[in-house]
Amino acid sequence: MKRDVKAIVKEMTLEEKAGMCSGKDFWHLKSVERLGIPEVMVSDGPHGLRKQADEADHLGLNDSIKAVCFPTACATACSFDRDLLEEMGERLGEECQAENVSVILGPAVNIKRSPLCGRNFEYFSEDPYLASQMAAAQIKGVQSKHVGTSIKHFAANNQEHRRMSCSSEIDERTFREIYLGAFETAIKEAKPDTVMCSYNKINGEFASENYRLLTEILRDDWGFEGYVMSDWGAVNERVKGLKAGLDLEMPGSGGCTDKEIVEAVKNGDLDEAVLNTAVERILNIIFKFTDNRQEAVFNREEDHKLAAKIAAESMVLLKNEGILPIQPEGKKIAFIGKFAEQPRFQGGGSSHINSFKITGALEAAKEIAEGTYAQGYEVKEDKVDEKLLEEAVQTAKEADVAVIFAGLPDAFESEGYDRTHMRMPECQNLLISEIAKVQKHVVVVLHNGSPVEMPWADDVEGILEAYLCGEAVGQAEVGLLFGQANPCGKLAETVPYKLSDNPSYLHFPGDGKTVEYKEGVFVGYRYYDTKEMPVRYPFGYGLSYTTFEYSDMQVSAEEIKDTETLKVSLKIKNTGNMTGKEIVQLYVADKTGAVSRPVKELKNFVKVELQPQEEKTVEMELDKRSFAWYCTELADWYAATGEYEILAAASSRDIRLRKTVKVISSQNLPLSVSRNTTISELLENPGTAVMIKELAESLVAHMGGSQEAEEGNAAAEAITPEMSMKMMENAPLRSMRSFMGMKEAELDALIQKLQDAVV
């Protein structure tokens, strides 16, 4: 049934329209029964349904329904698997249909600027392309079930410290390329029903009141058609927010801001057409859900199995000196650490799921291996329990292999506050070190939502990064440890050796009033790789129980226009003896020198499954945006004419194949010619290049660059042709007066002639 939403809005009173723009309570939107507008519910969260009762709270102090906790975004991003994220989204959508939830609040795509952000476990990556691809896939999956999503937190919300008032100070290019980049592609391609604006200010203005962000960029530039809701309690000035494009305030304000809206319309401060538009957007999404209600069952057992599958695809094998997979026959396995029995598998805060059931590794391993267990440490405080430590060391010593389950306790990372360091609890670091002294064969399994320092990494034979991998985490861990599955995840973030290596280190989290993003576009691997800095584990890195060979890279053309698409193909062969999956990463390196850029940027990827000795050809595409950077002078994306290197890689530090292509730009950078415009700038513009070339040659001659470099010729040795050429390129037009005797009138005439020739 097609609803005439505009007609419905015309029938609403001013008070009813104002009321639609704020929640009835924490989780429900208001109804208008006389017009057939139903009450609908929204619910957290990104990796599981946290449906709460009416009187429940936002941060989860009260219980929600029993649900399935899927792996968190810090883990699922490591799958590099669009199909897997779409499947997870479909299951979340079915759960919402079964529980009558109209919009699920996620996914969260904020960039991992610093490993200290307390909410990093909910975010996908340090890379905007990867984050956007994972988000788009999850959104498509959820919304295929006629349930809405709310991509969040829009935008530049990269810390918890003073998140409700701090201003993210960020330049336009960095904002567009990094922090809006993760949102843009997901919104354009997957079309989420709602966008959740963030708490923070952006360059001094609250996101909830930012017309440029919520209207000019989101709607005018990107074509977003759904409604914008606030994060819970993010509204500062309601009427200003409504004018900016904030349609729905959550939660309800007890009617206070509704009255402000009514009064603003009555006194002429708010055009009622703005209010009408907001109500139409909200009603369109309400009816999209209620008019497409489906019979659905929340099958928790089946969803638990899917959670285990996703976890196994997402965990990353960081180190393996032949210890994995463990062959359990005739071996005594020591399971050490409280997380073996009671795993940490999700983060704290608004996304916390009341899990249906939890499978730890100790339980999952019962039917596979003969094992012993020692708790090793407590998690309530970072304090060494000598008895637990001694018991664990002795248990490990008596075993053939020790598997230590370690990581960050709940108190170390959560929504609401940031970490102050990158270390694990000292009691756990000590435990690992002491066990490594008495047991050669040690594997560490990590449970954490963000990178940790690993002072013991060189002392153990294996490291498996499990992240926060959902309620079936133990089942997936055991499957990987004992070879029932082959690890195939790769890191969606760089793991530095220490916190001070991070590019945001000197500026995170700011002074509480502002936080400066002075590292610019050099975030994550973009910084580490450009600076050639050693890291513990690079972006895109992950081991397998098999090996892969890359060969025969082909490109569809060696030269393309920026309006064309480049097709890239290469062959991947499984050269080992176990079925495995490889994540092939495609990076682009800008060799034009037109602007300061990272040495490489991820622009596509594909995950391919191969049987032993099987070879497949994989194909990927690169469009203009794959080569472009955001040019503030054009207020658009710009790919400079010149050469670009296409890199097929197993990680950002493991480049396997290379091809060079030339891109021809269809755009010209704006050029305003003045007496301080340089010769090189004029040579770059097609319109002025021909005219200035002859003049430039004369200038080189006047600088002495045409002299023969004869031995003993002091002048030629002092002023080489190379030096003259560089001086000429950097010389402003006004230098013509000094070096060529040009008069002021002649210079002015030249400037005007050049300006007329600019294209």
Q: How do residues 222-234 score in pLDDT, each as one tens digit?
A: 999 999 999 999 9
Query: Would you place residue 350 in the very low, low, confident or very high pLDDT band (cuts 50, 70, 90)?
Result: confident
Q: How confident is the model at residue 63 (pLDDT cuts 50, 70, 90)?
A: confident
Answer whether residue 737 shows pLDDT above 50: yes
Alpha carbons 370 and 330: distance in angstroms, whole number: 8
Instruction: Give CA–CA dist 164/674, Å, rounded.
Output: 45
Mark whether 231 is an active-site residue.
Answer: yes
**636-638/629-631 β-pairing:** antiparallel
Is residue 726's pLDDT more than 80? Answer: no
Q: Is the whole model's pTM more than 0.85, yes or no?
A: yes
Distance CA 212, CA 218 (A): 8
467: left (phi over 0), alpha (psi -120 to 50) or beta: left
What's the pLDDT score for residue 707? 47
pLDDT at 700: 67
| Whether 609 contacts 554, CB under 8 Å | no
Catalytic residue, chosen from 81, 127, 193, 231, is 231
Q: Which residue has the higher pLDDT, 726 or 5?
A: 5
Could you report the per-residue pLDDT of 491-500, keeping only the tens digit for each? 999 999 999 9
Q: Of 335-349, 353-367, 574-588, 744-758, give the lowest mean pLDDT range.
A: 744-758
Residue 738 has pLDDT above 50, yes or no: yes
| First-residue to last-residue Cα distance in the chain | 53
**Predicted local distance difference test score (pLDDT) of residue 723:** 54
| Sheet of 566-574, strand order | 548-555, 566-574, 615-622
Contacts of 315 (CB under 8 A, 6+ apart): 75, 78, 464, 465, 466, 467, 469, 476, 477, 480, 487, 489
Higher pLDDT, 214 or 681: 214
393-411 mean pLDDT:
97
Question: In whole numbers, what is the pLDDT of the chain averaged over residues?
Answer: 94
pLDDT confidence tier of residue 695, bands split at 50, 70 and 90: confident
